[in-house]
């Protein structure tokens, strides 16, 4: 089966600083890939580059989505093709109602189960507020995930959906991610630093460890997560690479 | 004060420069004989319709008072409004018929305030609208008034007096406009509003001028105990210059909310502000402005809250968005307290569209232009309390237009 996303030898800079180095990654339809790594490993920049955010600069390599090279496409075109990014910290946009942005996305994407999604993510009461203005950590994550879901993405890029949220929000977010895979057959790349959400997810296809801009190890979650939890990233990579030799 | 004395004072003030705004030589304009026509159906000329459409009024039928240059039309809505006991007529007629009008006119704005008020007093012929809302009436429909300038090189004078009596509520909407393409003209508007005890007046004003028009409104509002005055002002067109600094005087337990939205463009000078004088305890004022500056526009966003009594409160919020390399915004908030025990605060900020917000919206599938439009539209969204939904919807349409202008 042809991959939904193929990244070949990708090197990305922000300004003059190279953040992501020679990354190769393939994601099939309906798969969930988790990218773990310490702070400043380049995880968020990799997602930003897949989304095509203007602040990223591709120095080398290519991104292919559904067989189409999108390396140089602007981000709004990628969004229309079915890629959606849930930002780690979405900006507060004063004066712009959350509901206005949601309505525009629902109209564009033809999302039919937006009411259910709003309920699942408990964002109903936030809809008439200005977008992310004065939202708590959990509210912000749930609202951003809602905007991602109503785009009906083929590929959802979830940047640290588990950071800074309370336990209740964490469970809600995990349920919605599972729903996205199970019911919507979406593919997901989930970035996490803490790994807090992983034990609540049952459908992880592959886990990657990223350090200093490179994916240094890829494997099955059951092989990686217990070791990372116990030894931390750098030591785990030594252990895992030693095992595989 | 005797009429002859006011006249003498006005004559002396004919060369008195205004405190703010470019000084305009009034003698370069032609005066027109003020006339009252009566029936709105007598209005002729597509240019009038084109002008009123610019301020969101799609039909003259809804207008309670229309003034085209120096001719007043007013009878169409008379019947609909008389159901509620509301009187709407040209001030000139009110001054002939009603003692109240005589008592009120020129009692808040002095003819010798500056050269523009002096000229309005001497040459204006007291055109403009007079609105009286009797006590204990909540007028459910907005009272639309429209002031249109269509002839070249003319001055339009207008003098408006509104009295909302005790325990009553009314919404007055005024659109001031010229048709596109008018190259030279001047509009001088005097407005005096009076609010009775525990009454409420919302006043929405939309301005759509052109490059060659100078505009000098002079507005003052007096509120009695427990009343509430809400104003909502939008200007979204080019203009040669506009300068206004409406002042609200608040009596015990009265409050005001004054919102100003300015979309400055071209070479225009926009010197606009709001001033509230807290004259008694338990008064409050909130002044909010949003400024967009494009092209070479120069915008002065003024605001002043002066507390003359304890237990009074005031807050000013002035936000500006600079959309051009050569435009300028000056935000000038003033808070002044003359008595201990008043709580006054202000915040002012001028910025550009945040790249982070643009990028965020683009990642949701909006083009850069769409994302800019969403942010600009949001920036201008001010929820003025108590503005009726119909007026809110009309202002919404105007703000959509402003957004289109702003993103080119």
Per-residue pLDDT of chain B (408 residues; tens, 9 = 90+): 677 899 999 999 999 999 999 999 999 999 888 888 767 767 777 778 778 878 777 677 778 888 888 888 877 777 789 999 999 999 999 999 999 999 999 999 999 999 999 999 999 999 999 999 999 999 999 999 999 998 889 999 999 999 999 999 999 999 998 887 788 999 999 999 999 999 999 999 999 899 999 999 999 999 999 999 999 999 988 999 999 999 999 999 999 999 999 999 999 999 999 999 999 999 999 999 999 999 999 999 999 999 999 999 999 999 999 999 999 999 999 999 999 999 999 999 999 899 999 999 999 999 999 999 999 999 988 877 888 887 888 888 888 888 887 776
Q: Cβ of B357 under 8 Å from any chain A Cβ? A: yes
Select from B184, B235, B160, B245 the least CA-distant residue to B205: B235
The rounded distance, in Å, linking the Cα atoms of B35 and B74 is 12
Query: What angle (nearest 5°) sits at the alpha carbon of residue B36, between those of residues B33 and B39?
Result: 145
ipTM: 0.94
CB contact under 8 A, B380 and A147: no
What is the nearest CA distance from A92 to chain B, expressed in angstroms?
A: 8
Using H for helix, E for strand and C for coil, what is the string for A68-105?
Answer: EECCCCCHHHHHHHCEEEECCCCCCEEEEEHHHHHHHH
Element (H, E) at A241: helix A233-244
Select from B144, B142, B170 the least CA-distant residue to B67: B144
For residues A215 and A240, the answer to whether their CB atoms sit within 8 Å is no
Identify any residues that bridge with B189 across adjacent strands, giving them in sequence order. B158, B217
Select from A234, A189, A195 the least CA-distant residue to A3: A189
pTM of the model: 0.87
Residues of A in contact with B288 (CB under 8 A): none
What is the nearest CA distance from B330 to chain A, expressed in angstroms?
A: 21
CB contact under 8 A, A105 and B361: no
Select from B146, B143, B124 the least CA-distant residue to B55: B146
Is A52 strand, coil or helix? coil
What chain A residue is nearest to B353 in terms of C-alpha separation? Answer: A93
Q: Which of B364, B380, B381 is opposite residue A79, by nearest beta carbon? A: B364
What chain A residue is nearest to B369 in terms of C-alpha separation? Answer: A76
Taken as a whole, chain A contains a residue count of 245
What chain B residue is nearest to A79 in terms of C-alpha separation? Answer: B365
**What angle do the packed helices B389-406 and B368-380 form, to 10 degrees?**
140
The rounded distance, in Å, linking the Cα atoms of B65 and B141 is 14
Chain B interface test: which of A49, A80, A90, A91 (most B C-beta within 10 Å): A91
Quick one: DSSP state of residue A196?
T
Whether the predicted pLDDT of A218 surpasses 80: yes
Element (H, E) at B10: helix B3-12
Q: Which residues of B96-134 are buried (b: 16+ CB within 10 A; e: fewer)?
A: eebebbeebbbebbbbbbbbbbbbbbbbbbbbbbbbbbb
Q: Which of B354, B359, B364 is opposite residue A147, by nearest beta carbon? A: B364
For residues B142 and B390, the answer to whether their CB atoms sit within 8 Å is yes
Q: Which of B363, B375, B379 is opposite residue A85, by nearest beta carbon? A: B363
For residues A75 and A52, the answer to whether their CB atoms sit within 8 Å is yes
What chain B residue is nearest to A90 in terms of C-alpha separation? Answer: B360
Chain B interface test: which of A45, A80, A93 (most B C-beta within 10 Å): A93
Residues of B in contact with A104 (CB under 8 A): 366
Q: Cβ of B79 under 8 Å from any chain A Cβ? A: no
């Amino acid at each position: 089966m042809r991959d939904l996303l193929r990244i070949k030898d990708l090197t990305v800079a922000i300004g003059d600083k190279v953040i992501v180095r020679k990354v190769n990654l393939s994601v099939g339809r309906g798969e969930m890939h988790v990218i773990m790594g310490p702070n400043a490993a380049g995880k968020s920049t990799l997602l930003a580059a897949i989304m095509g955010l203007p602040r990223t600069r591709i120095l080398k390599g290519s991104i292919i989505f559904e067989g189409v090279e999108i390396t140089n496409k602007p981000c709004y075109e990628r969004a229309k093709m079915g890629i959606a990014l849930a930002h780690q910290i979405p900006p507060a946009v004063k004066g712009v109602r959350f509901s206005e942005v949601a309505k525009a996305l629902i109209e564009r994407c033809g999302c039919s189960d937006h009411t259910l999604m709003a309920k699942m993510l408990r964002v109903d009461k936030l809809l008439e507020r200005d977008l992310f203005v004065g939202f708590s950590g959990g509210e912000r994550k749930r609202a951003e995930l809602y905007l991602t879901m109503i785009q009906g993405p083929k590929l959802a890029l979830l940047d640290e959906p588990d950071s800074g949220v309370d336990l209740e929000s964490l469970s809600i977010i995990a349920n919605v991610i599972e729903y996205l895979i199970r019911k919507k057959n979406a593919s997901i790349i989930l970035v996490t630093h803490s790994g807090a959400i992983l034990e609540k997810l049952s459908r992880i296809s592959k886990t990657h460890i990223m350090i200093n801009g490179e994916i240094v190890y890829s494997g099955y979650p059951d092989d990686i997560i217990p070791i990372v939890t116990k030894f931390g990233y750098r030591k785990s990579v030594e252990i895992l690479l030693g095992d595989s030799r | 004060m005797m009429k002859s004395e006011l006249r003498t004072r006005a004559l002396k003030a004919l060369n008195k420069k205004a405190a703010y705004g470019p000084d305009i030589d009034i003698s370069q304009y032609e005066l027109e004989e003020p006339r009252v026509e009566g029936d709105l159906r007598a209005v002729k000329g597509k240019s009038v319709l084109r002008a009123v459409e610019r301020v969101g009024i799609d039909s003259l039928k809804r207008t309670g008072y229309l003034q085209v240059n120096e001719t007043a039309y007013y009878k169409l809505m008379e019947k609909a409004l008389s159901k509620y006991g509301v009187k709407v007529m040209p001030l000139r007629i009110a001054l002939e018929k009603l003692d109240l009008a005589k008592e009120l006119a020129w009692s808040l704005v002095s003819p010798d305030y500056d050269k523009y008020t002096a000229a309005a007093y001497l040459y204006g012929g007291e055109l403009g609208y007079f609105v009286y809302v009797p006590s204990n009436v909540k007028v459910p429909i907005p009272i639309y008034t429209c002031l249109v300038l269509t002839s070249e090189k003319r001055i339009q004078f207008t003098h408006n007096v509104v009295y909302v009596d005790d325990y009553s509520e009314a919404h007055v909407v005024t659109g001031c406009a010229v048709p596109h393409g008018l190259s030279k003209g001047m509009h001088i508007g005097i407005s005096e509003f009076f609010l009775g005890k525990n009454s409420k007046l919302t006043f929405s004003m939309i301005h759509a001028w052109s490059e060659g028009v100078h505009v000098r409104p002079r507005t003052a509002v007096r509120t009695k105990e427990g009343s509430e005055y809400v104003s909502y002002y939008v200007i979204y067109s080019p203009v040669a210059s506009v300068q206004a600094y409406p002042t609200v005087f608040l009596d015990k337990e009265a409050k005001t909310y004054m919102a100003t939205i300015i979309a400055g463009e071209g070479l225009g000078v926009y010197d606009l502000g709001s001033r509230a004088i807290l004259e008694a305890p338990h008064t409050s004022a909130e002044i909010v402005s949003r400024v967009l500056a494009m092209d070479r526009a120069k915008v002065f966003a003024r605001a002043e809250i002066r507390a003359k009594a304890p237990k009074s409160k005031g807050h000013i919020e002035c936000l500006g968005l600079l959309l051009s390399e050569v435009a300028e915004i000056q935000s000038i908030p003033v808070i002044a307290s003359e008595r201990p025990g008043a709580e006054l605060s202000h915040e002012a900020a001028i910025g550009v569209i945040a790249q982070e917000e643009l990028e965020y919206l683009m990642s949701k599938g909006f083009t850069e232009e769409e994302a800019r439009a969403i942010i600009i539209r949001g920036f201008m969204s001010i929820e003025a309390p108590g503005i009726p939904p119909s007026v809110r919807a009309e202002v919404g349409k105007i703000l959509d237009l402003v957004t289109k202008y702003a993103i080119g």
